[in-house]
Amino acid sequence: MKINIIKIQLIAIVLALLSVVSCTKNFEEINTNPNNPAVAPLENVFANVIYSLSSRFGSSEMKYPASFVGHITKGRYIDVTNYKDTPTSVLWWSTYRTIMSNANFVIKEAEAEGNNNMIGATMVIEAYALQMVVDAYGPAPYYEAGLGAEGLIHPAYDRENIIYDELLKMLDEANDLLVDDISNGSLGDGDLLYGGDITKWKKFCNSLHLRLAIRISNVDPSTAGVEISKILGDTDKYPVISSNDDNAALVFPGGEDWREPWTAHHGSIGDDWMARPLVDSMNKFADPRLAMYADSLSDGTYSGLVVGESADTIYSRINDRFVNNPAGSVYFLKYAEVEFIKSEAAQRSLYLTPSEAEEAYNAAITASCEEYGISSTKISDYLAGTDVAWTGSLNRLYVQKWIALFRQSWESWSEMRRTDVPLLPLASRASVENHNRVPVRFSYPDSEIKLNGDNIPTDVNEVDNYWGYQIWWDTRTGIQ
């Protein structure tokens, strides 16, 4: 049903664009480029902002963070997994050239229309996009971001703690703006995530708020505790994702022109394999999700490829649901993640008490398994497993969160750097040998260094493209 809705929405968007340029009644209209309308329909631009965000979860995710965290890897084109290739600049430029500029346009026009729901939803997407940039690079433009249309082409950089503080405020404001009342405005056909369901947008907003709060919990536990307590302490005002039905996901229609990003990338390259760290861990735990994540070998077993090695023999491929499914989904934030955050917050007494951590931990794993239709009996058996059952260990929680974040590799990479779990070795045959952790960040795009280098903070040292400066919330010591 949802796929059909998205198809209808996309068709409506195309028709709306055509309608903008269909009239040619006077000289000015005749001499206007029909492929470049001066003002695009607001709903269309909003849809483009969502779609642009989803594009990040495609080829660049499969090439970089998915291998950093040991989820998937390459078998032939291994320069990228061996750190020989420079980081992709897609994440950076898609944020500033497309998402931020278009989001600023949507917000400005929505303000003129008095459409608070459109403003609030767009702010959620903005916060998500900027969080990803900060988590990958560190200091980045914020206050002067997305203002190229106004002539500001050399934006100043802002520190991570400042940006995070502003994003938390932005999400608070977005939550207040999002009101499930038609008089407060409509998202129309541009809402490719929730089909206009404002309550679910509020849940997405506040769940993202929790993500940001737990991210800073090692570097600023006081603020993290305040923010988590604020959200979880008043779920009437701050509802959060409370079931898999609330998951923030873009479902693709399928077909040649609208293929899910992992499928689109794999279909053109086909060089993607399950990585050994994830497969070995799931084999050890007898994890029922392994059959959903990976294809088995001819003997029914699963074997992951060592990150950095060539696929010179047979290893498990990624399950077709992720790489041969044009009508698949891009997931921004899931219910399982929210429950893992609750569990960690309770165990660390950031909110609730350690006695309440087990319930949320079990709920998180259950939610992740239920996404794949795994039976309640198998879930119960898994939760009772020696290496899985709750013991109060944060490391155990982090490992389970890492497993559940499969197909959300950008987020998994951030969590690995925050927690140092799992502790993975450098890729085999790595082009560098003087580092004791997998990549800690992306170096800035070369074009940014050349054109706006004077604004990059002088303390951001870049070593071998992926090391050097650690993101503000990455409090690990002894990293080389």
Mean pLDDT of 370-377: 98
- DSSP symbol at 139: S
Q: Check residue 13 and give its pLDDT.
A: 47
Which pLDDT tens digit goes with each residue over 104-159? 999 999 999 999 999 999 999 999 999 999 999 999 999 998 777 788 889 999 99
Query: Quick one: what percent of the chain has pLDDT higher than 70?
Result: 92
Rounded to the nearest 5 percent, the helix, strand and coil shares of the chain are 50, 5, 45
Alpha helices in 300-334 (DSSP H): 320-323
**Predicted pLDDT of residue 38:** 55
Q: Which one-letter amino acid corresponds to residue 238?
A: Y
What the block records as the tokens of 16 is: 């709306």
Query: Which is higher by pLDDT, 271 or 38?
Result: 271
| Residue 313 pLDDT grade (very low, low, confident, very high; cuts 50, 70, 90) | confident
- Phi then psi for 148, rounded to 5 degrees? -60, -35
pLDDT band at 30 (very low <50, low <70, confident <90, very high): very low
Q: What percent of the chain has pLDDT over 90?
A: 87
pLDDT category of residue 39 using cuts at 50, 70 and 90: low
Q: How far apart are CA 323 and CA 124, in angstroms?
A: 28
Distance CA 52, CA 48 (A): 6
SS3 for 463? strand
Strand partners, 251: 329
pLDDT at 10 exceeding the cut of 70:
no
- The whole-number average pLDDT for the span 35-48 is 79
Identify the pLDDT of residue 178.
98
pLDDT in tens, 426-451: 999 999 989 999 999 999 999 999 99
Beta bridge partners of 62: none
> 273: number of CA atoms within 13 Å, CB side?
27
Q: What is the H or E stretch that residue 72 is in?
A: strand 72-73
Element of type H or E holding 468: strand 467-468
Residue 356 pLDDT = 95
pLDDT of residue 352: 86
The structure tokens 């898609």 sit at: 94
How far is the C-alpha of 369 from the C-alpha of 388, rounded, in Å? 13
Q: Using the predicted structure, report yes or no on whether residue 345 has a pLDDT greater than 90.
A: yes
Highest mean pLDDT among 8-12, 60-64, 265-269 belongs to 60-64
**C-alpha 333: how far from its chain's center?**
7
Backbone angles phi, psi at 250, to 5 degrees: -100, 115
pLDDT for the residue 150: 81
Average pLDDT over residues 19-41: 45
pTM of the model: 0.92
Rounded distance between C-alpha atoms, residue 86 and residue 80, angstroms: 8
Query: What pLDDT is recorded for position 306?
Result: 98
pLDDT tens for 147-185 read: 777 888 899 999 999 999 999 999 999 999 999 999 999
Structural domains for the chain: 2-272+318-334+408-468 (1.25.40.390)
pLDDT tens-digit readout, 412-431: 999 999 999 999 999 999 99
Residue-wise pLDDT for 292-308, tens only, equals 999 999 999 999 999 99
Q: Is 95 helix (H, G, I), strand (E, B) or coil?
A: helix
Cα distances (Å, whole numbers) of residue 263 to 57, 69, 305, 322, 363: 11, 20, 20, 7, 30
Report pLDDT digits (tens) over 244-269: 999 999 999 998 889 999 999 999 88
- On the question of pLDDT at 21 being above 80, the answer is no
- The mean pLDDT of the chain is 92
Is the alpha carbon torsion for 88, 306, 438, 317 positive or negative? Answer: positive
**Which run of H or of E encompasses 248?**
strand 248-251
From the DSSP assignment, how many helices (H) and strands (E) are in the chain? 21, 6
To 5 degrees, how large is the angle CA 126–CA 127–CA 130? 85
Question: What pLDDT score does 172 carry?
Answer: 98
- Structural contact between residues 180 and 114, judged by C-beta atoms closer than 8 angstroms: no
Task: Give 27's DSSP letter.
Answer: H
pLDDT 10s digits, 463-477: 999 999 999 999 999
- Among the residue ranges 21-25, 159-163, 222-226, 231-235, the one predicted with the least confidence is 21-25
Rg, C-alpha atoms of the chain: 22
Q: Is the pLDDT reported for residue 242 higher than 70?
A: yes
- The C-alpha atoms of residue 128 and residue 333 are separated, in whole angstroms, by 10
Q: What is the pLDDT of residue 18?
A: 33
Between CA 371 and CA 134 the distance in angstroms is 29
pLDDT of residue 151: 82
Structure tokens at 53: 């965000």
